[in-house]
Amino acid sequence: MKKLVVFTGAGVSAESGIQTFRDSDGLWEKHRIEDVATPEAWNKNKKLVLEFYNHRRKQVVHASPNAAHIAIAKLESSFSTHVITQNIDDLHERAGSKNVLHLHGEIRKARSSVDPSLIYNIDGEDILEGQTCELGSQLRPHIVWFGEFVSELDVAADIMAEADYLIVVGTSLAVYPAAGLIHHVSPSCKKYLIDPKAGHDVRGFTIIQKEAGIGMPELMALLLEVK
Ligand code: OAD
């Protein structure tokens, strides 16, 4: 089987009703990153940070996978597929994708604020101030904040290096180190980018300037023919 990597960002979940970050009505228009998505924000105001992610967790729980997530999952039957996502939702998994690597964490999990290996499934529940891990420290969202180490980066780079096909869907490629992963593919890798506003400087990519829910099923059909 040929190896396929699908690298996704917030745009793949936009049609499921989950806001992107940098579009005109995006999350970072309404919230300052420094207030809710950094270790400094956490140290300054845990309640605000917890409320921000508790709200987002509720949104994710009530959202459903869209046609793009489903098309990506369907490709698994014909390609050895890895999904590498910057998203913290679980819509790829709920669409049926088996190999999903979350670079920036997972909203439906909490973790210890002193031992990052202590991770707990909390499903759709809120994390409250005073809720602690088994070591007695405050639980925090299982999210990689700005300025924090992206622990899955090397694994993701190794997966990219093996790809015969790379599909990039719904990401502005503005956030590093994640965005740099696309440069790890081999020169022979066939590369596609799906984004309705695709203005990115991405040489060597076939650009599909459509929403993910349209462009991804179309590309799936094409790849199933050529596989
Ligand atoms: P952005 O909000 O930066 O970019 C979203 C991209 O999706 C843009 O290029 C949009 O044009 C595109 N888009 C919008 N609607 C779409 C649709 N229906 N179909 C396809 N594409 C669509 O989101 P990310 O690139 O994912 O990190 O942002 C990267 C990281 O920045 C996030 O993981 C998050 C954020 O800050 C952390 O929180 C650490």
Coil/strand/helix, residue 113: coil
User: Is residue 191 pLDDT above 90, yes or no?
Assistant: yes
Kindly give the number of the ligand 1 atom that is closest to the alpha carbon of 28. 36
Which candidate, 57, 65, 34, 8, places its Cα nearest to that of 194?
A: 8
C-alpha distance across the termini of the chain, in Å: 8
Tell me the two tokens of residue 168: 């990039």
pLDDT in tens, 118-174: 999 999 999 999 999 999 999 999 999 999 999 999 999 999 999 999 999 999 999
- Count of C-beta atoms within a 10 Å radius of residue 174: 11
Predicted local distance difference test score (pLDDT) of residue 89: 98
Ligand 1 contacts CB of residue 89 (under 6 A):
no
For residue 28, how far is its CA from the centre of ligand 1 (angstroms)?
Answer: 11
Q: Is the peptide bond before 217 cis (omega within 30 degrees of 0)?
A: no
What average pLDDT does the structure give for the chain?
96
Using the CB atoms, write b or e for 201-221: b if 16+ within 10 Å: eeeebebbeebbbebbbebbe
User: Is residue 200 pLDDT above 80, yes or no?
Assistant: no
Kindly give the number of the ligand 1 atom that is closest to the alpha carbon of 194. 20
Confidence of residue 198 (pLDDT cuts 50, 70, 90): confident
Catalytic residue status for 92: no
For residue 14, how far is its CA from the centre of ligand 1 (angstroms)?
Answer: 9
Which candidate, 2, 42, 12, 52, places its Cα nearest to that of 170?
A: 12
Predicted local distance difference test score (pLDDT) of residue 26: 87
Predicted local distance difference test score (pLDDT) of residue 138: 97
In terms of residue numbers, what domain contains 215? 3-226
Q: Which helix (H) or strand (E) holds 204?
A: none
The structure tokens 């179309």 sit at 218
Distances (CA, A) of 130 to 68, 115, 137, 139, 164: 39, 17, 9, 8, 48
Residue of 27, 33, 86 to test ligand 1 pocket, by largest number of atoms within 8 Å of CB: 86
User: What is the Cα–Cα distance from 26 to 175, expressed in whole angstroms?
Assistant: 15
Which candidate, 94, 69, 82, 74, places its Cα nearest to that of 14?
A: 69
Q: Output the domain CATH number for residue 124.
A: 3.40.50.1220
Kindly give the number of the ligand 1 atom that is closest to the alpha carbon of 26. 2
What is the total count of domains within the chain?
A: 1
User: What is the Cα–Cα distance from 12 to 7, expressed in whole angstroms?
Assistant: 10
